[in-house]
Structures are given as C-alpha cells and as structure tokens.
C-alpha cells in the first residue's frame, strides 16, 4: 500500500481536518442546520437514525438522493453519507453525488455478507467501522481513509464503544513491544495484511485517523471516547433523540474539545434536559447487535 | 519562546508535529489564559464554523483579535485563513484582520481536493515550487495593498503575508517542506 499516493493523502487529509470534532447524524436539512450551528465538524446524511432503525425494523438503505442534495445545499461543512456494506452501486452513487466522505456502515442492512467495497479506486474517501485491530486493518487494506470503532449504534449505551476502543488500543500497544520475528504470527492471528501490522508495530498507531462511534448520548460519553484514544466522535441518535438537540449537540462539541478538563465538563453538562433513553446491551440478542455486521 | 497551536478542533497535532520537525516545540491552546501565555500562534486547518463556535463559547474571540492586532506572530492554514479574513464568501463572521476576500470551498467539495504544485516566491528560498495539499480549500478572491503574496496556484494567491501574519489556503503541515514553518518560527524569534 502506498501511503504517499496523492489521492490517498488527500483522503486522509480530510480525516485529519475533522479531528477533535463531532460528526452528527442528520435525516433532514433542518437537522443539518442545527448541527452546523451547534459546531458540528461534519454531518452524516441518513434515512433514519439508528434508534429508529432498531424500533421500526425493515431494510435500512442509503439516504434518498433528494435528501442528500438538500443537506448539501443547506450546510457548508462536509457532508458524509452511509452506504450498505458491500453495496458498490450505492457507493458509486454517493461519489457521483459528491458527498465528502462515504461511511460503509453496519448500521444499514448489509448488501453483501462476504465482501466489503474495494475502496482504493474511489476518489471520495471512506470511513469504516471496526470492533478490533484486525478488522480495522482489513478495512484500511481495502482503502478506508478513516476508521471508527463501531460501538452499538442506536443504543444510547457507551459500553460497546468502550469495548472496541479498548480492544484496538490494547492490540496496537501489544504490537509495539513485539519484535520483528513475531509480526507475521500476529498478522495471522489478527487476520490482517502483514505490511499494515508492521506499520502499526513501528508507529504505534493506525495508518489513518481513528474515530469513535456508537452509543454516545452525553458529553461525558464523548469525553470518555477521547480519553480512550479516539481522535473525534460520531454521534447518531444521541442528539436528535434527546429532549433538546441543539443544546446537547453544542455541549458534546465542547466536550470533545475540553475532554481533559473535568471542571469544564461539569459546566458543559448542566441544563441539557433529558438524554435519549438507553438500551441494556445484555437484553439484545446477537442478531439484534448492529456491530456484529461486517467482519 | 512559547509557540501555541489553537487546539479547539482540526489538524492541530499535524501542525505541532511539523513545528517540532522545524525545531519549535508547540503547546495546545484551548483557553484564554493559555492564549495569553504564547509568543506565536498557529490557526490550524479544520472547520472554520466549528472553531468560531468554540472561540465564542470560550470567550476567546476578542482576546485573540486583540493579540493579533498587537503583533502576535500567526501562522494560519485553510480554516485559519478564513478565521482571519476581512471578508468571507458566503458571508460568515471572522476576525477581519487579514485584508483579503476569501471564498469557502471554492474549488469544490472533497472530490476537488488535490496535491498541486505551488509556485513559491524567491524570498522563501529553497527552489521555485512547493507541494500544496489542498483539502476543500478556500480561494483568495482579493488581496489588499498591505498583503504580500508568497505562493501561487496557477494565478491564485495561496500563501500570503501581512505584518506578522503568514497565511496559506493549503496545508504546509501535511508535507515535509518546512519553509513556511521556519519563516513563522523566525518571526517569533524576531518579535521579542
């Protein structure tokens, strides 16, 4: 893999610009405007937020074309959109729509249970979810320019995001203390491309920015993700399923900037109204867990 | 000499790393007291609307304007130049300290982002071109009489200087070329 390829550099470059920011799920232009005014670094256009997908069921697909266009017309910040895992046609349409980032997302119903999109030939960058380092490096191997830990979308429960962030960080740290003789065995264990395993061992980080997602409902949740090594945070249902989306969105934006300052976090977290109601992950069957989609 | 990088949002860590390579250790600036303590400041790339929002909520906007007006050396890239511009298209608030009119995302969305050769003015030294990483870049539409152009993309001014302010529409922090960083660090040394 050529990390110096100009196309790959500008893909990762946009991910760099989003660091320290909050990317917010929106389903309408009005929500996108609220997100931008609250300080979102980007918005994610989708048909339904994960909490609704969970309740309503049915097949979750790419957002309607007119909805994406409307959101693009309304805000000046980057507009991302989700395609189904392995849905090459949706991905190509999103590129033709000139979205700024494509999220090949487990939140939508997978189109291919075996293969993810081969992302290198696209000019538009991709972000993909992961639960561990091996999954992250497989996606980077396919061309993802940003990784986000999956968490459990639409749950309002941070426990899965923490599990995935911890797993990735622990596996990265482990690689840095192994010697060269041990790396191929690690590549086999992680089921990841050897050269990417070697990169992580040498640099102590992923070759692309590492964001967090799934279950963020409060400023404290966002701060926790940053403490565990996330470089930015995606918030889905947590904002527009809460009592006061604009105020909560603004607070989460500030929490991602000031995560190291508990006094500020206290100040930020006062007077936000009710958060979204959460789900006990233990009550979900494995089939109900969105994070199990993809591999 | 203390160099700060505005660390509210954006690629401030890339800036800190690039400054370290050029011989200057940088510290993150997130609050008004931290801003008070530095002798030079980087306004990084990122989203200008997000940074404006966080500056306002941290009651830092006026303090930042005053420090730059009174000669604080500044290096601004991409979103940073938008924060400084006298006039932004489409209209949005700014510090109005750099006498330019700038149009946001004027080359297009992410699909138009590219690595492009930038023609470098002689006073930068080290050869006539530099690598320009343009990410959803803004475009300078007008420069005032007090502004010196130090780099061009085709006919567009992309690297500018006005007093102690050095500003680029691209991202020198994402390349190995440290001419811009070195010029900025020399400014800080000279301002004391």
Q: DSSP string covering chain B, please?
A: --EEEE-SSSSHHHHHHHHHHTT--EEEE-SHHHHHT-SEEEE-SS-HHHHHHHHHHTT-HHHHHHHHHTT--EEEETHHHHHHEEEEES-------EEEEEETTTT-SGGG-EEEEEEE-GGG-S-SEEEEEESS--EEEEE-TTPEEEEEETTEEEEEEETTEEEESS-GGGSS--HHHHHHHHHHHHT-
* pLDDT tens digit at each of 192 positions of chain B: 899 999 999 999 999 999 999 998 999 999 999 999 999 999 999 999 999 999 999 999 999 999 999 999 999 999 999 999 999 999 999 999 999 999 999 999 999 999 999 999 999 988 999 999 999 999 999 999 999 999 999 999 999 999 999 999 999 999 999 999 999 999 998 644
Structure confidence at residue A295 (pLDDT)? 86
pLDDT confidence of residue A55: 87
Other CB atoms within a 10 A radius of the CB of residue B156 amount to 16
User: Can you tell me the ipTM of this complex?
Assistant: 0.96
pTM above 0.90, yes or no: yes
Q: What is the mean pLDDT of residues A173-178?
A: 98
Mean pLDDT score, A155-173: 97
The whole-number pLDDT of residue B190 equals 62
- Per-residue model confidence as pLDDT tens digits over A251-282: 999 999 999 999 999 999 999 999 988 888 88
Q: What is the pLDDT of residues A14-54, one digit of tens each?
A: 999 999 999 999 999 999 999 999 999 999 999 999 989 98
SS (H, E, C) A165-201: HHHHHHHHHHHHHCCHHHHHHHHHHHCCCHHHHHHHH
Q: Which H or E run includes A22?
A: strand A22-26
* Residues B79-132: tens digit of each pLDDT: 999 999 999 999 999 999 999 999 999 999 999 999 999 999 999 988 999 999
pLDDT at A54: 87
Give chain A's mean pLDDT.
Answer: 96
Instruction: Name the residue with tokens 């941290």.
Output: B58
Selecting among A11, A82, A150, A241, the annotated active-site residue is: A82
pLDDT band at A283 (very low <50, low <70, confident <90, very high): confident
Distance CA B74, CA B54 (A): 19
Q: Is B143 left (phi over 0), alpha (psi -120 to 50) or beta?
A: beta
In chain B, what are the domains?
3-189 (3.40.50.880)
Is A21 an interface residue toward B (CB < 8 Å)?
Answer: yes
User: Between chains, do A20 and B7 touch, taking CB under 8 Å as contact?
Assistant: yes
Interface check A105 vs B, CB under 8 A: no
Q: What is the pLDDT of residues A78-113, one digit of tens each?
A: 999 999 999 999 999 999 999 999 999 999 999 999
Identity of the residue in A77, A99, A123 whose CB atom sits nearest the CB atom of B47: A77
Query: Does A67 participate in catalysis according to the annotation?
Result: no
Cβ neighbours of B47 in A, within 8 Å = 17-18, 21, 41-42, 77-78
Q: Give me the pLDDT at residue B192, please.
A: 40
Choose the mutation target among B7, B11, B30 for the interface with A, i.e. most A CBs under 10 Å. B11
């Amino acid at each position: 893999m050529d990390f110096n390829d100009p196309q790959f550099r500008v893909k990762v470059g946009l991910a760099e610009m989003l660091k320290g920011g909050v990317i917010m799920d929106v389903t309408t232009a009005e929500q996108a405007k609220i997100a931008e005014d609250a300080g979102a670094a980007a918005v994610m256009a989708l048909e339904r937020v994960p909490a609704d997908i969970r309740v309503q069921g049915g097949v979750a697909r790419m957002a309607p074309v007119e909805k994406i266009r409307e959101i693009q017309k309304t805000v000046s910040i980057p507009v991302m959109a989700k395609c189904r895992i392995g849905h090459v046609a949706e991905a190509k349409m999103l590129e033709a729509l000139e979205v700024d980032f494509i999220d090949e997302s487990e939140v939508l119903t997978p189109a291919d249970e075996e293969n993810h999109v081969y992302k290198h030939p696209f000019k538009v960058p991709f972000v993909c979810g992961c639960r561990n380092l091996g999954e992250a490096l497989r996606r980077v191997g396919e061309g993802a320019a940003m990784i986000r830990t999956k968490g459990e979308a639409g749950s309002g429960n941070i426990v899965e995001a923490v599990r995935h962030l911890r797993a990735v960080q622990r596996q990265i740290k482990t690689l840095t203390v192994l010697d060269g003789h041990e790396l191929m065995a690690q590549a086999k264990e992680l089921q990841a491309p050897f050269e990417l395993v070697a990169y992580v061992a040498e640099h102590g980080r992923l070759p692309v920015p590492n964001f967090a997602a799934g279950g963020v409902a409060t400023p404290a949740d966002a701060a926790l993700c940053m403490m565990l090594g996330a470089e930015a945070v995606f918030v889905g249902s947590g904002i527009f399923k809460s009592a006061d989306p604009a105020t909560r969105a603004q607070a989460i934006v500030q929490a991602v900037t000031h995560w190291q300052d508990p006094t500020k976090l206290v100040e930020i977290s006062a007077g936000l109204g009710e958060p979204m109601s959460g789900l006990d992950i233990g009550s979900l069957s494995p089939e109900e867990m969105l994070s199990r989609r993809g591999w | 000499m203390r160099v700060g990088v505005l660390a509210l949002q954006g690629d401030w860590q890339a800036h800190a790393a690039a400054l370290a390579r050029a011989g200057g250790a940088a510290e993150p600036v997130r609050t008004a007291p931290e801003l008070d303590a530095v002798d030079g400041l980087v306004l990084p790339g990122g989203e200008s609307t997000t940074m404006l929002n966080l500056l306002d909520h941290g009651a830092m906007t006026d303090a930042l304007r005053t420090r730059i007006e009174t000669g604080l050396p500044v290096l601004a890239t991409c979103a940073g130049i938008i924060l400084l511009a006298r006039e932004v298209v489409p209209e949005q608030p700014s510090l109005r300290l750099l006498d330019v009119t700038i149009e946001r995302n004027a080359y297009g969305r992410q699909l138009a982002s590219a690595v492009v050769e930038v023609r470098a003015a002689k006073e930068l030294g080290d050869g006539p071109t530099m690598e320009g990483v343009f990410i959803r870049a803004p475009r300078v539409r007008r420069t005032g009489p007090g502004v010196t152009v130090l780099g061009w993309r085709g006919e567009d001014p992309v690297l500018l200087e006005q007093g102690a302010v050095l500003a680029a529409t691209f991202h020198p922090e994402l390349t190995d070329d440290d001419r811009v960083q070195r010029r900025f660090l020399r400014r800080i040394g000279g301002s004391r």
